[in-house]
């Protein structure tokens, strides 16, 4: 089978990339087995810029998402409990983010033509990439898009290097039910253990993420679910008792990116190209920007009758994406160092930072706009 683009992977990045490329008139196919995301406890908080990009592709996430209007950041430390509110109004937006479970995100993106099997080998050549799948299918594509996640075989086959650094922190993520309605307020608390964030969905539900040392997360998850919920309720009592409403999962955290994400007729996007801890909800929002940039680039190449997988075409991908990716990753990396470590200097820094933002509203608004757009 010959196609313009083979998108390797079956997650939200692969699905959206295949959809966007087809929308731009390219013959794109997704390569990946059916993905069951029903038990994935993660939600994705989509920034206004991502929601706009999805709107332009005819995808309305609002039908399944919960709009987040307010964010409260709290920090315990030498000054007691310091809190600062960040509102959609401050940022000049209708909402701070639209939050939805990954399976709901996948559901709002239309089905795309798919070879429903794992890619087992990619062989970049001068004119095309050959892709062999576990069900015996062979595909030839002018370009392969590596959207097969952190352990991407497509990225490896093209010799694209991922520079990754473990953060020595883990995240426990679980869907929860709250005793009291959240009224669309997201609360992120930095305390003596690490972080605890409640990201609202529906009226009484939330995705809970707590980040701490792997030892602390290990000790917490050794308890039964009821005991864990009790401990978490004590750390964040704002919405009353917290109860688990789904299965929990632990994610070891790292940060990293691909300095040269495109080579040998393969371009890495999404978590194949960059990984960030779940702080400031940037992860998949960066994937959306990857897809928008790549689609525009390939559309222009096709209109000008250029080879969409050539080194010349792909050469302009990295300069268009890297400043944004590098800027966001360095901000998230710095924030991770200060936000997730419960030691005295970090506690002092985050409380001082929060108090300063409370005093300098201009700086606060600027920071919010940079994060959301
Ligand atoms: C706790 C937590 C909370 C988060 N919250 C947010 C948030 O609020 N906002 C946000 O923007 N981001 C968030 N993120 C990040 C976001 O979840 C990820 O960026 C996103 O899920 C990555 O999607 P992906 O499709 O690139 O990769 P994946 O979801 O890893 O998908 C890749 C898929 O490819 C498949 N695959 C692997 N090998 C092959 C192969 N050989 N052939 C075919 N398929 C293959 C894999 O099975 C996998 O299903 C969060 C992350 C975590 C850990």
Per-residue pLDDT of 239-280, as tens digits, reads 999 999 999 999 999 999 999 999 999 999 999 999 999 987
Query: What separation in Å is there between the alpha carbon of 25 and the centre of ligand 1?
Result: 26
Please report where in the chains the tokens 């920071």 appear, as a residue.
367
pLDDT in tens, 138-154: 999 999 999 999 999 99
Tell me what the mean pLDDT of segment 10-23 comes to: 98
Q: Which of 14, 162, 208, 325 to mutate to test the pocket of ligand 1 (most atoms within 8 A of CB)?
A: 14
Q: Residue 287 C-alpha to ligand 1 middle, in angstroms?
A: 10
pLDDT at 121: 97
pLDDT at 80: 85
pLDDT value, residue 352:
76
Task: Please enumerate in sequence order all residues whose Cβ is within 8 A of that of 325, keeping only pairs 6 or more positions apart, or say none.
Answer: 257, 273, 274, 286
pLDDT at 351: 78
Mutate to test the pocket of ligand 1, among 148, 170, 268, 286 (most ligand atoms within 8 A of CB): 148
- At residue 357, the pLDDT reads 75
11 Cα to the center of ligand 1, angstroms: 6
206-236 confidence digits (pLDDT tens): 999 999 999 999 999 999 999 999 999 999 9
Q: How far is the CA of 235 from the centre of ligand 1 (A)?
A: 28
What are the residue boundaries of the structural domains of the chain, listed by start?
Answer: 2-164+253-372
Q: Whose CA is nearest to atom 31 of ligand 1?
A: 11
What per-residue confidence (pLDDT) applies to 350?
77
Expressed in angstroms and rounded, the spacing between residue 273 Cα and the centre of ligand 1 is 11
What is the enclosing helix (H) or strand (E) of 134?
Answer: none
Kindly give the interhelix angle for 283-303 and 12-23, rounded to the nearest 10 degrees: 30
Q: Does pTM surpass 0.75?
A: yes
CA of 149 to the centre of ligand 1 (A): 6
Q: What is the pLDDT of residue 23?
A: 97
Q: What is the pLDDT of residue 362?
A: 72
The pLDDT value recorded for residue 206 is 97
The stretch 339-356 carries a mean pLDDT of 75
CA angle, corner 2, sides to 295 and 23, nearest 5?
A: 30
Determine the Cα–Cα distance for residues 223 and 220; give it in Å rounded to an integer. 6
With a cut of 80, say whether residue 367 has pLDDT above it: no
Mean pLDDT of the chain: 93
Rounded mean pLDDT, 97-116: 96
Closest protein CA for atom 3 of ligand 1? 278
Look at ligand 1, atom 29, and give the residue with the nearest C-alpha: 11
2-164+253-372 topology per CATH? FAD/NAD(P)-binding domain (3.50.50)
Cα-to-centroid distance, 288 and ligand 1 (Å): 12
- Residue 189 near residue 233, CB atoms below 8 Å: no
Confidence (pLDDT) at 64:
96
330 confidence band (pLDDT: 50, 70, 90): confident
Centre of ligand 1 to C-alpha 147, Å, is 9
CA–CA gap between residue 240 and residue 99 (Å, rounded) = 21
Query: What is the residue with the minimal CA distance to atom 46 of ligand 1?
Result: 148
Pocket of ligand 1 (CB under 6 A): 8-14, 31-32, 35, 42-45, 118-119, 147-149, 153, 171, 173, 209, 251, 270-271, 278, 281-285, 287
Residue 185 has pLDDT above 90, yes or no: yes
Q: How confident is the model at residue 356 (pLDDT cuts 50, 70, 90)?
A: confident
**More confident of the two residues 78 and 24:** 24
Query: Looking at ligand 1, which atom is closest to the CA of residue 31?
Result: 43
């Amino acid at each position: 089978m010959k196609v313009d683009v083979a998108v390797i992977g079956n997650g939200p990045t692969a699905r959206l990339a295949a959809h966007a490329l087809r929308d731009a008139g390219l013959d794109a196919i997704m390569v990946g087995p059916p993905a069951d995301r029903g038990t994935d406890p993660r939600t994705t908080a989509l920034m206004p810029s991502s929601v706009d990009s999805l709107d332009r592709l005819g995808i309305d996430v609002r039908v399944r998402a919960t709009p987040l209007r307010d964010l409260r950041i709290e920090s315990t430390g030498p000054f007691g409990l310091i809190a600062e509110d960040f509102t959609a109004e401050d940022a000049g937006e209708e909402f701070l983010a639209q939050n939805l479970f990954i399976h709901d995100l996948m559901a709002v993106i239309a089905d795309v033509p798919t070879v429903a099997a794992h890619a087992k080998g990619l062989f970049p050549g001068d004119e095309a990439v050959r892709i062999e799948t576990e069900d015996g299918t062979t595909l030839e594509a002018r370009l392969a898009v590596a959207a097969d996640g952190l352990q991407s075989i497509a990225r490896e086959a093209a010799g694209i290097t991922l520079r990754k650094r473990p953060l020595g922190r883990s995240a426990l993520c679980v869907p929860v039910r709250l005793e009291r309605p959240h009224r669309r307020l997201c609360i992120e608390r930095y305390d003596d253990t690490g972080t605890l964030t409640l990201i609202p969905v529906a009226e009484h539900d939330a995705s809970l993420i707590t980040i701490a040392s792997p030892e602390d997360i290990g000790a917490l998850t050794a308890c039964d679910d009821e005991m864990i919920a009790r401990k978490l309720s004590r750390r964040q009592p704002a919405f009353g008792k917290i109860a688990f409403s789904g299965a929990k999962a632990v994610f070891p955290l790292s940060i990293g990116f691909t300095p040269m994400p495109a080579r040998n007729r393969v371009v890495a996007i999404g978590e194949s190209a960059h990984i960030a801890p779940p702080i400031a909800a940037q992860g998949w929002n960066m994937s959306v920007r990857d897809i928008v940039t790549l689609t525009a680039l390939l559309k222009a190449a096709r209109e000008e009758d250029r080879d969409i997988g050539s080194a010349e075409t792909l050469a302009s991908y990295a300069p268009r994406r890297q400043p944004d990716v590098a800027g966001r990753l360095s901000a998230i990396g710095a924030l991770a160092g200060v936000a997730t470590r419960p030691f005295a200097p970090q506690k002092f820094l985050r409380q001082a930072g929060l108090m300063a933002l409370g005093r300098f509203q201009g700086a606060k608004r600027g920071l919010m706009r940079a994060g959301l757009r």
